[in-house]
Amino acid sequence: MTATFIHGTKISDDIKREVAAEVEHLKRRGIHPGLAVVLVGDDAASSSYVNMKAKTCEQLGIHSRKLTIPSAITTEHLLAEIRKLNEDDSIDGILVQLPLPKHVNKHGILESVDPKKDVDGFHSANLGSLVLGHETLVACTPLGVMELLYRLNVPIEGANAVVLGRSDDVGKPQALLLMHANATVTICHSKTRNLQETVRRADIIVAAIGRTAMVTREWVKEGAVVIDVGTNKVSDRRDVQRLFGNDETRLKDFERRGYIWVGDVDERSVKEVASMITPVPGGVGPMTIATLMKNTIKAARMRRGL
């Protein structure tokens, strides 16, 4: 068996077209959806992500605002900026780009965002609503994973699903979404006993543990669907060759940039036993931005009782 690669770029393009159509529909009703992204500091990767989100907004007709704030800002001053966005009726969604500087109270900042505008789904009110199964704004990456599974007609109801990782932004909401879709869910982490055996029982594996190529073919039963959420930077050419052999595309990518991005799944071995697998990059990543756009439209509608 050789796995089918799940190309998130194509599916994300489908979602973006749906969002663009919805934006036009809302504008005809006098509603102009708006997204504000708050960037603290000058981290190159964070700046790149923010620019990508702004560009996507522009393509889909969503009003976007980028707030670039010096890294020396205090928690109190940043809270004041968030309050202004909360009160701004032209803004439907607020996203605080992470990571924040260490001296800033991350939890306090995320909790200060109006839950109705929390398009990242990180506010405790939205997480609590997710636990209860209420309609709410959900974290973009796990929501993107569910979109992939639904749109590929992967059987979820009754399936054994394993989520590798228990983070607040991916692992926990992912497990809840799968549970609400009637899967039988196991959350695994660094302290799980017999980890490999537990993962091997899964029909659906979502790997979000942050360890380069940890999941190998021995961890995966034949026919499983493997979703790789991991993004790990590999900067040693020997590691690239160990993971991908003489794959010309990967080697050229490494030579051009001096590093490549690799998931939590050993793609080369797992694709021989899985039925479907997401590549890194090009799998879950594009879905995260697409679902952010979808969440912005959802927030615009929910705020107006639509």
For 156, residues 6+ apart whose C-beta sits below 8 A from its C-beta are: 149, 150, 178, 181, 182, 183, 204
Question: Catalytic pick from 92, 97, 228, 264?
Answer: 97
Is 10 noted as a catalytic residue in this protein?
A: no
197-203: long-range contacts (C-beta < 8 A, 24 or more apart)? 198/162, 199/162, 199/164, 201/160, 201/162, 202/160, 202/161, 202/162, 203/155, 203/159, 203/160, 203/161
Alpha carbon distance 29, 33 (integer Å): 11
Which residue type does 235 have?
S
Alpha carbon distance 87, 90 (integer Å): 9
The DSSP secondary-structure symbol of 164 reads E
- ∠243-245-249 over CA atoms, to 5°? 95
Alpha carbon distance 202, 184 (integer Å): 9
Question: Catalytic pick from 92, 118, 120, 169?
Answer: 120
Collapsed DSSP state (helix, strand, coil) of residue 227: strand
Is 120 noted as a catalytic residue in this protein?
A: yes
Question: Catalytic pick from 16, 53, 172, 271?
Answer: 53
Alpha carbon distance 27, 22 (integer Å): 9
Please identify every residue annotated as catalytic: 53, 97, 120
